[in-house]
Amino acid sequence: MANTQHGMLVAFGEFLSQYGLIDRLMDVPIAQKTRTFRPQTKLVEFLAGIMSGIEYLQDLNQGARPMVKDPVVACAWGQSGFARFSGVSRTLDICDGETVNAVGQAIDEFSRPFIATAVHDLLRRGVALIYDFDLTGQAVSLISTTYSEAAFGWMNDSVKLGYQLARVCLSPDGGDRLWLAGFHHLGNTVSAACLQELVAAAEVQTGVRPRRRPELMQHRIDAQRTNIERARPLLEQHRT
């Protein structure tokens, strides 16, 4: 048995492999030739790096406890080894819309049974589904010119250059969060502009769409019409 400094990361890899996410990611289309490692391997490596908490891509090789140099992690994530961070960077740079959509679909397929189980349990017990909506700023360097479509916006109590990440999660019984969807936006995006897309995404992921209650809207419309009719004589009197 080999020793590792990445015990939790090994557990994550075993879990994701057991439930098929690694295999799904290894099938996504990436228009790049295979040299030492398949391009999909570098995509899996990138996910492992994110879950290990890297701040910069170079931390894969040059961090305090470099994940790439730990063969136990690679084995747990179903790989013979991991590439250098520069190779991961080139693979990520070549990924196109088709790749991104395929990755999103793979994650949705992996997440679906867990979401369905949580939703079924809540509905079975007659507990309301509670969604948390969040808009988190992702700042970049103020002098950077390489981040496309970055914009100045309110992030962490100050104006910074970067992006906004709009996310929605399900909070079963106020406990652990079950993330449903996320969208990347310009840094000057405000929360109100994201609400509609987050609500729609939450309903798609959970398969639960609450009744819209159009009769309540009609009641409000009728009330406003009544108020207008009551105010009409006053308006006519003011005009004369």
DSSP 8-state assignment for residue 159: E
Task: Tell me the HSE value of 26 on the side-chain side, using a 13 A CA sphere.
Answer: 12
Structure tokens at 10: 């090994």
Q: Choose among 135, 199, 128: nearest CA to 163.
A: 135
Give CA–CA dist 21/107, Å, rounded. Answer: 7
Name which of 60-69, 170-179, 200-209 the model is least confident about. Answer: 170-179
The pTM of this model reads 0.77
Specify the 3-state DSSP secondary structure of 155: strand
The model's confidence at residue 175, banded by pLDDT at 50, 70 and 90, is low
Backbone angles phi, psi at 30, to 5 degrees: -135, 120
DSSP 8-state assignment for residue 174: G
Give CA–CA dist 186/152, Å, rounded. Answer: 8
* Cβ-defined contacts of 169-173 (< 8 Å, 24+): 169/131, 169/132, 169/134, 170/115, 170/118, 170/119, 170/129, 170/130, 170/131, 170/132, 170/202, 170/206, 171/130, 171/131, 171/132, 172/118, 172/121, 172/122, 172/127, 173/122, 173/127
Read off the pLDDT of residues 65-92 as tens digits, 9 standing for 90 and up: 899 989 999 999 999 999 999 999 999 9
**CA-to-CA separations, 182 to 10, 44, 114, 169, 197, in angstroms, rounded:** 26, 20, 17, 9, 10
The model's confidence at residue 146, banded by pLDDT at 50, 70 and 90, is confident
Average pLDDT, the chain: 89
pLDDT of 1 reads 52
Segments making up each domain of the chain, as ranges: 7-98, 128-216
User: Positive or negative CA dihedral for 197, 201, 207, 208?
Assistant: negative
pLDDT of 28 reads 96
**CA-to-CA separations, 222 to 33, 151, 213, 216, 231, in angstroms, rounded:** 65, 43, 15, 10, 14
pLDDT of 169 reads 93
Residue 37 vs residue 174, higher pLDDT: 37
